[in-house]
Amino acid sequence: MYRSGAVMAWNVFKFCTALRGLGSIMILLVLGVVGVTYYAVVITNYGPVLTDGGLDSLVALAVLILFHCLLVMLLWSYFSVVFTDPGTVPPNWRPLSDEERGDTDPLTGSDISALPVDPAHPRIRFCRKCNQMKPPRCHHCSVCGRCVLKMDHHCVWVVNCVGALNYKYFLLFLFYTFLVTTLVSLALLSHFIAFFSDGEIPGTPGSLATTFLAFVLNLAFALSVLGFLIMHISLVAANTTTIEAYEKMQTPKWRYDLGRKRNFEQVFGMDRRYWFIPAYSEEDLRRMPALQGLEYPSKPDLDAQEF
């Protein structure tokens, strides 16, 4: 019986590891969608109009400038999520004092009842797979095979976990993806409607098919990303992750909720100049220990003092 259980656990682990390979394919898929969209907008439809002159050229120029600016921000945010470590538990991490964990902490649950713990901190969770204690808001990712600080979820689209250090970049990726796909959908709408008209449509069959495909893909992504964006905006407003959303409903007061403004600043930083780019100011980088959630606050308002 024990042997069967071990084999089952091993198979599940192998399945989770295989998801990383799927994620690599998803990156190519993202770049493929970007390529099809770029060809349809720039090469096929709006690029050639620049030489026509008149109002159409001005409209085409405006669309192309906005499209390229948003596309650069999208790709910058996307690869920042892909290549940024979401947050790793430091080796031999320990809480600061014996009084930094209480029975009111919503993240202490039944998962520690049968696990080894530090005798000095009986309420601290312990990860059996990583063989180490877990800081608050930290969860183990079976795909990455490690504990991730303030883990939100593992995203196969970016082949990475979304956690404390790249959550802002992930939100910006959703934001700019929505803007780009909405712009492309509006820009190609008239060309899409022309497919169903009785008149002759200029262009080769390949360019027409690319335009049709680009419109359908971008409209579908715009609608789906909008739902995710709204969900994550509500999570940021409450200082909650996707994993913590259920735990938050079980506690009368969520200890990490500092108010919408400070909740937003914990993710995006204090410097407004950096809010819409995937980077942090030097001042915000100095606050990273608090942002990562490596410390157990003795009072719920200590995080507010950091930000």
Whether the CB-CB separation of 258 and 303 falls below 8 Å is answered with yes
More confident site: 303 or 196: 196
Q: What distance in Å separates the CA atoms of residue 249 and residue 266, rounded to the nearest whole number?
A: 21
- Residue 138 pairs with which residues in a beta bridge? 149
Q: Which H or E run includes 199?
A: none
Region 73-79: what's the mean pLDDT? 98
Catalytic residues: 155
Q: Token match 């085409």: residue?
A: 60
| Domain residue spans of the chain | 1-88+166-307
What is the chain's alpha carbon radius of gyration, rounded to the nearest angstrom? 24
Region 89-98: what's the mean pLDDT? 69
pLDDT given for residue 205 in this prediction: 82
Strands 146-149 and 160-162: unpaired
**pLDDT, tens only, 115-174:** 344 444 445 678 888 888 888 888 999 888 889 999 999 998 898 999 999 999 999 999
Which 3 state secondary structure label does DSSP give 219?
A: helix
- Residue 94 pairs with which residues in a beta bridge? none
Between 104-118, 139-153, 197-211, the lowest mean confidence (pLDDT) is in 104-118
Q: What distance in Å separates the CA atoms of residue 165 and residue 56, rounded to the nearest whole number?
A: 44
- What confidence category does residue 23 fall into, taking pLDDT thresholds of 50, 70 and 90? low
* Position 56 pLDDT exceeds 50: yes
Region 247-263: what's the mean pLDDT? 81
Q: What is the pTM of this model?
A: 0.81
